[in-house]
Amino acid sequence: MKKNCHAILIAFLFSCIFPKTIYCQDNQNQAQYYNWFDELVGVENTELYNGIVYVEKYRTINSKTKFFNSPSFLQGSITYYGQKFYGLQIKYDVFEDQILLKLEDRLGGNTIQLFKNRITDFRIDGHEFIRIEEKLGKKLVISGFHEVAFEGPLFTLFIKHKKKDFDRKDRRSLYYEFINSKNGYLLWYNNSYAVIDSKKDVSTIFPELKREIDNFYSIARSLRNSDLDSFMKSLMKRVEILKSQTNNAITE
């Protein structure tokens, strides 16, 4: 109900104050509209502040933390309870797959953990993520936040970031270190998700390109060993080009 009121009130207020305004569709103008609304009604009166007070469970003493890109809060936006919020200070806890939000100083400046199942997507430090929940029968086989790594006309590649923890001891107490684990890769193609764990998986999805895929794995071996994320993005861009060329040849 709040989501509908949010949208209706924005439309009503803009029609009253700016009767000749034509709504722009680009993200920058959309962000301005929503920020204007949140300032008008008070962001604390929106769904954004529905969450639980965050309590840190893992003591860390160095830069090896469980967070995406930085242990500090980063600039971001989020779709929460169906509403878009911009200009936020957020963290992505990769280890526990949760989103943390820093409250404004005037509201205490504390940290809350948002309800994961109410998050549709978010953007942090220039990286876009969406929440994917895919079931096979009654079993949940794909779950969590995935980064949109490559998006083309034919398919989308997602990265599931992962970290693993190690408990350490100093002279006084226990602390934890988190390091990047092997990420997972997911492809949205032909209206379904496919998990990619190996070259065989890619060739199974695109059997007509098996030779080209084999060649790419051979040529880009060093990239695959040093930066698997970049390798997978480059591979999918190459497959996209080859598939587009094949489709164009068929239609001509």
CB neighbour burial string for 197-227, b if at least 16 within 10 angstroms, e if fewer: eeeeebbebbeebeeebeebbeeeeeebeee
Q: Kindly state whether residue 36 falls inside one of the protein's structural domains.
A: yes
Average pLDDT over residues 28-35: 52
Q: What distances in angstroms separate CA 10 from CA 17, 35, 79, 82, 243, one per listed residue?
A: 11, 11, 16, 15, 43
Tell me if 220 is assigned to some domain: yes
Q: Is residue 81 part of a domain?
A: no
| Residue 154 falls inside a structural domain | no
* Residue 53 counted as domain residue: no
pLDDT (tens digit, 9 = 90+) per residue, 117-170?
999 999 999 999 999 998 776 666 789 999 999 999 999 999 999 999 999 988
Overall number of domains in the chain: 2
Please report whether residue 215 resides in a domain.
Answer: yes
Cβ 131 vs Cβ 125: under 8 Å = no
Judged on CB neighbours under 10 Å (0-12, 13-18, 19+), 248 is exposed
| pLDDT digit string, tens, across residues 166-180 | 999 887 889 999 999
Residue 69 belongs to a domain: no
Q: What average pLDDT does this structure show over 46-59?
A: 87
* pTM attached to this predicted model: 0.80
Which DSSP state fits 20? Answer: T
Q: Residue 39 pLDDT more than 60?
A: no
Q: Is 218 among the domain residues?
A: yes
Q: What is the pLDDT of residues 198-224, one digit of tens each?
A: 999 999 999 999 999 999 999 999 999
Residue whose structure tokens are 């609304």: 37
The encoded tokens of residue 194 equal: 């496919």
Enclosing domain of residue 16: 1-41
Tens digits of residue pLDDT in 83-105: 999 999 999 999 999 999 998 76
